[in-house]
Amino acid sequence: MSELIIKNLQVSVDTEAGSKEILKGVDLTIRSGETHAIMGPNGSGKSTLAYSIAGHPKYTITGGTVTLDGADVLEMSVDERAKAGLFLAMQYPVEVPGVSVSNFLRTAVTAIRGEAPKLRTWVGEVKEAMASLNMDTAFSERNVNEGFSGGEKKRHEILQMELLKPKIAILDETDSGLDVDALRIVSEGVNRVKSNSDLGVMLITHYTRILRYIKPDFVHVFANGKIVEEGGPELADKLEEQGYAAYITA
């Protein structure tokens, strides 16, 4: 049983006009097995929340705490956070020219598990995970995210999640840029990992579409840098009908 506790998190970024506050006190707890949908309009700070937890250097934490099973996440380096069991599926995965997917996956898994996986079982493990995400085996010889279509990038993110076996995963707009078939495959991947591993999920999205495939236990409405309303799955239905207008204050 794992628990990610975010308390009164405040985050700013440096802009040309000076420091700008993005997160204005976020409180959220995610436990193993739970799926939390974070929904909100563009520019509300959803991605900042995701990247701050992962430790992106662009963001400055100005207040609050983040702990994973009692350990101070904000004190950890980016790779330590991943080793502690956090995973961020990115909206825009980064291209790494000249580094093959297979080399990348093996290096990451070695770092997370603390030892190199046994070659024979590893090859099978990767093949199986790729097959269930409808990925061709030739994929592993390509360079990380280089020339990948939108759908391939997202599938590659979920593939990593499946192999790295995090405790808590943050999916940042994983549904963006996906057609219906790709959305279904990616969602099935998330659900499979959840059923196999008791994964806790923070699902960041603008649209309710993905929630037809990945059922949230909790829905949080995010606006202007904080959570402004919380509820069960029914809240997503309300957003589907009414949009975010009610939460955007002038």
Partner 1 sequence: MSLLTTNYLTPTGREEPWRFTPLKRISGLHEIEKNVPGDITFAVSQNLVTGVTFKNVAASELPPSYTSTDLISNRVRSSVGEVSSLNIDKDIELAQPIILQRNCSGSPQFSRLVIEIGTNSKATVIIENTGKAIIGEEIEIVVSAGAKLNFVTLQEWEPSAIHLGQHHALIAKDGEFNSYVITVGGSVVRLNPTVDFTGQGSSADLSGLYFATSGQHLEHRIHVDHNIANAKSRVNYKGALSGQDARTVWIGDVFIHKGADGTDTYELNRNLLLTDGARADSVPNLEIETGEIVGAGHASTTGRFDDEQLFYLQSRGIPADIARRLVIRGFFAEIVTKLKNEAIEERIMDRIDAELAKVGE
Considering only 62, 65, 67, 103, the residue that binds partner 1 (CB under 8 A) is 103
Considering only 97, 138, 245, 250, the residue that binds partner 1 (CB under 8 A) is 97
Shortest CB 164 distance to partner 1, Å? 7
Strands of the chain, DSSP E: 3-15, 18-31, 35-39, 59-68, 71-72, 86-89, 96-100, 143-144, 168-172, 200-205, 218-223, 226-231
CB nearer to partner 1: pick between 177 and 231: 177
Considering only 54, 126, 129, 178, the residue that binds partner 1 (CB under 8 A) is 54
The reply to whether 150 sits near partner 1 by the rule CB under 8 A is no
Closest-CA residue to 49 (of 243, 238, 225, 221): 225
The reply to whether 90 sits near partner 1 by the rule CB under 8 A is yes
The reply to whether 67 sits near partner 1 by the rule CB under 8 A is no
- Give the Cα separation of 131 and 185 in Å (integer): 11
User: Which two three-digit tokens encode residue 224?
Assistant: 């202007």
Shortest CB 96 distance to partner 1, Å? 5
- Give the Cα separation of 88 and 175 in Å (integer): 14
The reply to whether 151 sits near partner 1 by the rule CB under 8 A is no
- Give the Cα separation of 5 and 11 in Å (integer): 16
The reply to whether 195 sits near partner 1 by the rule CB under 8 A is no
What contacts 24+ positions apart, CB below 8 Å, involve 238-244? Answer: 239/39, 239/208, 240/208, 244/40, 244/41
Positions 16 through 35 that interact with partner 1 (CB under 8 A) = none
186: buried, middle or exposed (CB in 10 Å: 19+, 13-18, 0-12)? buried
Shortest CB 53 distance to partner 1, Å? 10
Q: Give me the sign of the Cα torsion angle 27, 33, 34, 38.
A: positive
Q: Which stretch binds partner 1 (CB under 8 A): 105-113, 148-156, 210-218, 228-236?
A: 105-113
DSSP label of 244: S
Beta carbons of 221 and 239 less than 8 angstroms apart: yes
The reply to whether 96 sits near partner 1 by the rule CB under 8 A is yes
Shortest CB 40 distance to partner 1, Å? 23
CB nearer to partner 1: pick between 35 and 160: 160
Considering only 77, 115, 147, 245, the residue that binds partner 1 (CB under 8 A) is 77
The reply to whether 60 sits near partner 1 by the rule CB under 8 A is no
For residue 178, which phi and psi values (nearest 5 degrees)? -105, 140
Considering only 22, 49, 52, 55, the residue that binds partner 1 (CB under 8 A) is 55
Binding site for partner 1 (CB under 8 A): 54-57, 77-79, 81-83, 87-88, 90, 93-99, 103-104, 107-108, 111-112, 143, 160, 164
